[in-house]
Amino acid sequence: MQPTDLLPHRPPFLFVDEIDEIVPGESARGRWTLSGDEWFFAGHFPGRPTLPGVLMTEAIAQVGALAVLADERFSGKLPLFGGLDKARFRRQVGPGDTLVLEVEMGRLSARAGKGAGRALLDGEVACECELLFVVVDA
């Protein structure tokens, strides 16, 4: 299965290359490998390309969306960010790095949900956050 089989996101705003595991409505794990050719590296920062933290949280949210959209209750729906809590950025990420993205869903109702996720670089936490989202018709 490809991320685009479930996610509506497309390049240049698709931040999941591979799906490692999905438990519908409960959890998902995926990967994002940064080639160095991504549009944001040119300006963030010249001479020291660094993945913006906000894009790490978006990548985590996209993996959370995979867990939600894999659940048949949410077929034809679209999970949207409702909030982001307790975001922490612990490691710099740059060209050539591969992030392992993990999300565990907490509360999940017909119209909203909450989850917690993290991005790992070489087994160490690069980013972690709590996600709040609403589910709308696609």
Active-site amino acid positions = 44
Q: Check whether the bond before 11 is cis (ω within 30° of 0).
A: no
**Rounded-to-10 torsion of CA 40, 42, 44, 45:** 160
Considering only CA atoms, which of 103, 82, 104, 100 is closest in space to residue 91?
A: 100
Residue reference for tokens 């020291």: 48
H/E segment holding residue 67? helix 53-69
- For the record, the structure tokens of 62 come out as 């996209």
**Separation of first and last alpha carbons in the chain:** 21
